[in-house]
């Protein structure tokens, strides 16, 4: 174990929730924890069926289990030569490309920890994460979606402790500066001949060791990282795998970013877990998605509500016989309107479409089984997956009656260890009895089906991505012409919510959407966090204690938008 990795790992995990020995023994008895590591399954399938296709990537090509296993062994040996080992933290900010899968598996083989983040992060977010985690490795695309990541790599090198390895991946990587590594060139070296296979095998992580950290936005504006082990990540998928009978014949379509929990867990890791095939799409385009699903005979996908809405409303579905191969679409990340589920049933008659409610902290929590009634599909978010225990509690902490609103608590073998290096947040959200406080308001009916009815925590969910208003407010408040600001979500039929900023300007100052957006860009914030509407006000509604009444702001913007539409 390297000195850096070991220190960070011990410092972070010693302060967090950890593993309850009695619960762990129970989960092993019940088969939720199988003590398997991702690379165990990859190696097994590579030996048994070398030619089985694992990855279909329109950018990098097609790869079998045997080919991926060889790349993983070579990359793991090369990373070991760079000093990467158990406990070291690696940040992967990559599109849905095959190198993401190879890097994650190679890091897992070494006992290193993967931090997966979406390729929309810019200088502010990435620099924070490199500093916060003391990352030993960072991997970035050289270019993606017209953005030059080389400049981002330079900013990280200048502002954060230099990682031991900084990789540039894909087209344009030949422009790498000194101190940066070209991923494709690195893989051309026969590293496996320089590190004994027995040495690599000895680094296989314990299935209860930290193997991944999934970062998600909190209500305070700071990112928080859910700590996950191999057993936890496997349990997240096990309930869905059994409920929907997923297996080696499944071809999993991954348009959800691998840098988010759904794409990382329910697409990438699910494919290896079931021995199926992963079909990647690196940038969302509904027509390309439909063509890829049809051509590759994809059978399953999990994605946010806008993805389903775009598929259902696109005429290309009809041109491809209503996508007969696609048997399952789990839709989550943002509220799933009943009308969308009904439309999907009509437009995609071969596809079972179910709402999926989940969190980075525990993966998919609820979804509808195949035998669910139409009413349950349209009016609930499903029932708990196998192994997941859910309960709704009132303000006093007592179990709520069926149909009564309260906070949703969840417990089970798929719940994270806690938040990385954030003991206070861990104590706030992870209770001593093993229940995780979701912060979501919900009700449970007599049959155990859950309906999410609101959010106790102050988050905006835009297209399935959690966005903290507090972070945006903090940035806008630094503008010299802003005296007060409050950010809320406003309803949007496609993304669920968009961002609205209520601002109180200084006297004689002029503030509009363009001014606000330029300020966000100057702060180095991703566009998805930029306000999409600005309301200039004379005062903000306040409580007697001085807190902004955001529910009133949400009501105000909803009423204004309704009038405008009318």
Kind of pairing between the strands at 165-169 and 137-141: parallel
Tell me: pLDDT of 268 over 90: yes
DSSP character string of 239-255 = HHHHHTT--TT-EEEE-
Is the pLDDT reported for residue 214 higher than 50? yes
Q: Which DSSP symbol is given to 205?
A: P
The predicted structure's pLDDT at residue 444: 98
Q: What is the pLDDT of residue 161?
A: 84
Question: What's the Rg (C-alpha) of the chain?
Answer: 23
Distance CA 44, CA 22 (A): 30
Tell me what percent of the residues of the chain surpass a pLDDT of 70: 95
> What are 89-119's pLDDT values in tens digits?
999 999 999 999 999 999 999 999 999 999 9
Whether pLDDT at 10 is above 60: no
φ, ψ of residue 132 in degrees (nearest 5): -65, -40
CATH for 3-52+60-229 is 3.40.50.980
- Residue 125: closest CA among 214, 256, 223: 223
Contacts of 320 (CB under 8 A, 6+ apart): 290, 291, 293, 294
Q: Tell me: the pLDDT tens digits for 497-548? A: 999 999 999 998 989 999 999 999 999 999 999 999 999 999 999 865 457 8
CA separation, residue 105 to residues 139, 153, 226, 295 (Å): 14, 23, 19, 27
Average pLDDT over the chain reads 92
Is the pLDDT reported for residue 220 higher than 80?
no
Q: Which position has the higher pLDDT, 311 or 466?
A: 311
Are 494 and 467 contacting, i.e. CB atoms less than 8 angstroms apart? no
Give the rounded percent of residues in the chain with a pLDDT score beyond 90. 83
**DSSP letter, residue 193:** G
What are the residue boundaries of the structural domains of the chain, listed by start? 3-52+60-229, 460-565
Q: How does pLDDT run across 463-506, given as a tens digit for each residue?
A: 988 888 878 988 998 899 998 899 999 999 999 999 999 999 99
- The stretch 150-166 carries a mean pLDDT of 91
pLDDT of residue 17: 56
- Calculate mean pLDDT across residues 155-178: 92
Question: HSE (CB half, 13 Å, CA atoms) of 115?
Answer: 28
For range 403-412, the mean pLDDT = 95
Mean pLDDT, rounded, for 223-247: 96
pLDDT (0 to 100) of residue 312: 95
Mean pLDDT check: name the lowest of 3-7, 96-100, 361-365.
Answer: 3-7
At residue 548, the pLDDT reads 82
460-565, which class in CATH? alpha beta
Check pLDDT > 90 for residue 128. Answer: yes
Q: CA-to-CA distance for 501 and 517, rounded, in angstroms? A: 11
What is the average pLDDT across 348-374? Answer: 96
In this predicted structure, the answer to whether residue 348 has a pLDDT above a threshold of 60 is yes
pLDDT, tens digit (0-9, with 9 covering 90-100), for 169-181: 999 999 999 899 9
**Do the domains 3-52+60-229 and 460-565 sit in the same CATH topology, yes or no?**
no
Write down the pLDDT at residue 457: 67
- Top-confidence range, 157-166, 209-218, 228-237: 228-237
């Amino acid at each position: 174990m390297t000195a850096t990795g070991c220190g960070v790992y011990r410092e972070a995990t010693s302060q967090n929730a950890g593993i309850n020995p009695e619960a762990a023994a129970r989960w092993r008895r019940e088969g939720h924890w199988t003590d398997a590591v991702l690379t165990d399954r990859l190696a097994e399938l590579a030996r048994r069926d070398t030619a089985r296709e694992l990855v279909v990537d329109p950018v990098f090509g097609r790869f079998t289990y045997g080919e991926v296993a060889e790349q993983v062994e070579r990359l793991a040996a090369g990373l070991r030569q760079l000093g990467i080992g158990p406990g070291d933290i690696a940040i992967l900010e990559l599109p849905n490309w095959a190198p993401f899968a190879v890097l994650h598996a190679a890091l897992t083989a070494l006992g290193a920890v993967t931090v997966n983040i979406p390729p929309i992060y810019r200088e502010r977010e990435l620099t924070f994460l490199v500093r916060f985690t003391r990352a030993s490795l960072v991997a970035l695309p050289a270019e993606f979606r017209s953005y030059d990541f080389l400049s981002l790599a330079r900013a990280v090198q200048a502002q954060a402790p230099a990682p031991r390895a900084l990789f540039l991946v894909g087209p344009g990587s030949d422009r790498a500066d000194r101190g940066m590594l070209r991923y494709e060139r690195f893989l051309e070296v026969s590293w496996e001949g320089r590190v004994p296979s027995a040495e690599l095998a000895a680094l296989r992580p314990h299935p209860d060791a930290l193997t991944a950290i999934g970062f998600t936005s909190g209500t305070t504006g700071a990112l928080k990282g859910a700590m996950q082990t191999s057993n936890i990540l496997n349990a997240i998928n096990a309930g869905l795998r059994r409920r929907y009978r997923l297996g080696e014949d499944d071809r999993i379509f991954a348009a959800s970013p691998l840098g988010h929990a759904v794409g990382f867990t329910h697409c990438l890791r699910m494919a290896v877990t079931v021995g199926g095939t992963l079909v990647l799409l690196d940038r969302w385009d509904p027509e390309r998605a439909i063509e890829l699903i049809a051509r590759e005979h994809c059978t399953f996908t999990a994605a946010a509500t806008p993805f389903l809405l775009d598929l259902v409303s696109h005429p290309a579905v009809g041109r491809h016989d209503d996508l007969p191969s696609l048997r399952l679409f789990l839709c989550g990340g943002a509220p799933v309107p009943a009308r969308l589920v009904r439309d999907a049933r009509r437009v995609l008659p071969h596809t079972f479409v179910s709402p999926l409610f989940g969190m980075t902290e525990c993966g998919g929590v609820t979804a509808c089984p195949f035998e669910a009634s139409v009413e349950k599909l349209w009016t609930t978010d499903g029932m708990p997956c196998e192994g997941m225990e859910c309960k709704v509690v009132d303000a006093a902490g007592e179990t709520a009656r069926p149909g009564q609103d309260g906070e949703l608590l969840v417990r089970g073998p798929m719940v994270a260890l806690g938040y990385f290096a954030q003991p206070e947040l861990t104590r706030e959200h992870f209770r001593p009895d093993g229940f995780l406080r979701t912060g979501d308001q919900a009700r449970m009916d007599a049959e155990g089906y859950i309906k999410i009815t609101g959010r106790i925590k102050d988050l905006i969910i835009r297209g399935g991505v959690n966005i903290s208003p507090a972070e945006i407010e903090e940035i806008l408040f630094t503008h010299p012409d802003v005296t007060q600001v409050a950010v809320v979500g406003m309803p949007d039929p496609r993304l669920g919510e968009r961002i609205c900023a209520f601002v109180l300007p200084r006297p004689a100052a002029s503030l509009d959407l363009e001014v606000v957006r330029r300020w966000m860009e100057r702060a180095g914030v991703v566009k998805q966090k930029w306000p999409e509407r600005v309301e200039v006000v004379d005062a903000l509604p306040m409580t007697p204690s001085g807190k902004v009444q955001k529910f009133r702001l949400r009501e105000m913007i909803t009423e204004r938008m309704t009038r405008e539409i009318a």
